[in-house]
Structure 1
């Protein structure tokens, strides 16, 4: 376990995922840039984060619930394979991965839209 560091983890992921790793890293980078730029646009437009965050949390929760039902099929198992609390926790955590991506995407789109709107249409100004 002495050699178990971030470089080793990256090597394991690169060997396991191959070219998919670079695509996933690119998607993660785009989502991070989208969330940060959306929050900055709202800040510069003096708008509240309330509605974009609410929309993102709602969409992410629905997506996580949908993906929770799909997780056993990813491993070619049935829902009967979820026997204990640890199994359910693992399935929920795995479902949170695409749910988090959808949350970030919805927040980015909603914040950009709210930042472009005129005062009073999306929400009250932060003044």
Structure 2
């Protein structure tokens, strides 16, 4: 008897919550906004390797006559002939050569999704 009463009241409460949720148009995010957030994350993760490659940070090294080569030259001049480990040029070349780690992909995806969500709020 107690289990039956508990089940009956639980079902009644769930039904009330479902009715309130279905009547509240602002409670559910529009599918287009959710898609925008997902696409923002995917684009951020996919665009970074392409941008690095276009700049000249490739898997085989820095491409000659590229933006990366100019950055490396400026860094070498500033550091007395070499590129310092951990510098921007060294980090970008490492990413270009080895690709993005799982953590980096997660951070980029989260950032891209957050930016897309911020933009989607205006539409």
Specify the TM-score bucket, using the shorter chain as the normaliser: 0.3 to 0.5
Task: State the TM-score, normalized to the length of structure 1.
Answer: 0.33
* Structure of higher CA gyration radius: 2
